Structure 1
């Protein structure tokens, strides 16, 4: 189970049997089984998740089935989860349920785990619950959505400007020409117009180089008294001390203006969560992995289990991220620059202070922590992002002020990789998903696989056209010879078994002239004919694919093909978009419960391994 690390080991001797459901306590068995699962959770957040899911599920049963005694053995058969999903979606469509998609996903995941546990421990009349996920989850705001190309272009351009300043400061101060500026303390009464006094920028810089020895000062303590005229002039004539320093390429303090651009740079490069970026240690970049010999990044991650994030109270051990050469150089430059910018405040900390090991630290300018060294915190990162929106007038695609935050870089990175057609396993590594199934669901939920969507769309169009042609009373006019009658197949009929899909023809073992037996490719064939009579087998096929993806997708060859197949089947068996009626689809699901057929041996083997 996905929550294995978060679950207390079960003692079968203490599990027992559910209580009797009565007219007075109709949901006694439901409460009992949810509480059993909840009590096995090892942290409060997981317990709360199952408690809220129990309340939600019972309310849903009350609304859809009334207050009749609810018996687990009668109600939860092999297709119980599929029926729950359908009735739940119907309630949502009827506006009877108004919850965020992420809340619904969390509830649905908990219900699925409870059903599977009930089946596993012999409380039901089935040993298997057909798997299905809640499907697409979408944020009701754009707080977690990926940036569009236009938005990302604006952000990267603005951050590049800020990065230039960070790299300039790290590179060290460059003095002005010796013939520029003069001591502003002498003959200052002759005035700015004549080039004298602290009101002249070049004179301020002369003072900085020759009196302050190129060391930025802050306006408090002994410096305020000793260099008061310099500090006063910076405020009155030069837009403030920090703005003046910025024009010179120096900074009095390693604040968020220096370190945040580098944090954004690392976010964009690595696709890590913001929490992981802010927890990086000074030794995060390692030159050589002991096993692969490749450079890698050490980081800490707050874990989440299942389809809903359930953050554990303690961080788990560090994880490793392999880095490619170009990325290594970019990450190394960013890390080296951060260390250089923060070296002074880092060295001022006691050896035992944990902040010495933290990569992202800063000098604070807050009223209560002024000039103290503090970690780069979420509150400060949010404030910096808001200032960037104002400073550079960042806009979204609708022309509104951009919702600029650190979280969106992760989804942006994964989106870019998916749209580039990168391998699922490579995306999984960057995303740090626990399983490839989670990665597949992420891509499907965010509709990122454009080539796959095109294949699915073309298959659905072909299926609809062939069905209309076969059912038409008129004889079609064919440009090429056609068979006298349809060939009967396992999941569909075929107009010409000697003309398989191009993907089959490209296979090494394909023999021209032989009848095609690749039943797992039927739905993508130009000759496929899907009729009402095929729907029960297709419903069974769909259930088998979902079960295999959920249980053992890593052992399933051509996982991308089955993901595309599942998309086609979802459309064919969804009454909202299918050419088949809701009654026909409901009949198909009912008939599927009586079928005992292995549609694809690869699925059977993958599910059992």
Structure 2
């Protein structure tokens, strides 16, 4: 092809056209991509078509007459194109034009990348040719009437379905009407009868799910739970799943409403975590017992696990622990001081052991080759010292396991280990080798992260390797991006904002979090390369399975993919036994990730951290939510005392204790008295109802109304508000709203002042009205979270 391109570019007259055509055909016959670009046209051949004359003229740089004369020499290329399914043999109905239309259509589609395929206009679960720009449209709508073109069109849509870009369960209106007529809904059908009927339907493939409708929006959920009752003989066991189904549907309707719900579209990996949180809130509100919640949660967990076995769905979910049925308040009980000391020491000791795995293996040079030239053991040389020689010289210092050994050398190595009676894992440990990156190795990092941040299990499991941000663009402080259940998705956790001296945090948060991320990424660096799924490849916590069936398989820490591997809760139990962790009653410690959060909060209260710091750590938008959360915690006596002191301190700070200020209060009603000291970034006034005399003498001033000159800078034409002023203005808006929410100030004359200021602020920071960019406003709003009150309320109703 290079020679031909040179001929064309130089536009030289070709003397031997015949040789040029023959050479071109021979070259292109080995180039699939080039053949896809060759158009065909009607010709006097046994198939009725050949390579287009115009194409030969253009690509070879010959005259049209010469192309017509030697066109027959290109005919062998047609046979090759048919063999490679670029072209098809025409039938009696189709001809050269139909075959060419099919080639153009498939050639257009194969050149689309993944992004372009996802952006194709879809209508009625089909590509809409009419919505594709004319200059990009591969064929005309009418050409789809030909059989060979239609089949190619269908193959394209089948590929889009396989890629998940089309709805595999889509049915046309006529198909839905036909299904409804052939499967009429039974009259007066009870819930039990319906689930029994659904239980008789097969459910092995994604296509087996019934299409939800307005009449039966949760039919797929009912079908899934009904399938769980097939293997149960007792009615009581079946009733557990029926009851769990009803409660789960009620939960889902709260999330998505009563519109038709498709499992493929609405079930995510955090679903069980969200449902557990929902049950936990019901327990705390005394709506259900922890025992009943455990039964329901277990039924939902097993049902979701059944969902992971459905072909074509590829569903996975984060597993969660059940509830402690002995005492419901233990759900949020912080660790005692004695328990904290034990946990800290155990985690640090386990971290020191885990860090040894980061050190590269050092060859000892001991031993000699115990194998002959065929890889068989030599009698008398099967010693552990010689096995180590094999490990260092023949196995490249890479751990071999019984389930993965393939070569004679690997198998002979394992036989020597087996003869030693020590056990493979014991030998590897003595040699300082990390045989597998298992959950046990990652556990201390997991616990340490929970300890210093107070994040919940699902938030830690969902962390990605790039979720630690050393310098946030808005605050210039380190932060952690994390997923929070029952919230607006991913949130940002500011680090190193806690000023209190907390023994639970021996060093700065950011320093510890960065060290955890660095170590875990280094530990998993080699196995991370072997993950094909890009999403799972980015997970921070990934591990290798140590089960017999799936030994060495790499997966994120979801908890439901490998039933033979140890669950996170099992590994934590083993951790408790290993270090003999006990509670204050000298019984085995109940160590759960959820208890780290209230423990950190309890430490902050003990160390007199501000409620603002606690609010930021918890990720609450409202201080009221923070106070409600603190009130729900089962703190020890000291923590409760500190909490009461803080609440009293807040209350006292809002009361005017100065007799001079009391005298200046304006009587609004006989029972209602309010005095507010307004302090903003642009103005400050201790009593806006008592302005100085020169203000009272102004013609614009009305006696008994607030000062008309207060905080008028924002409305002045000369005012300059820069980007650096925006955080203060956002904070001002926040505090005005809190004042409105937590008092009756809007029933007083102060309401006018607040309404005016809120309106002025709106014109500055509302994206639709503001002169600042969306990014500038967003960063300023984030920074405002770290600004204390912009005005003080010195009196409340």
TM-score (norm 2): 0.38
Higher-Rg member (1/2)? 2
TM-score (norm 1): 0.49
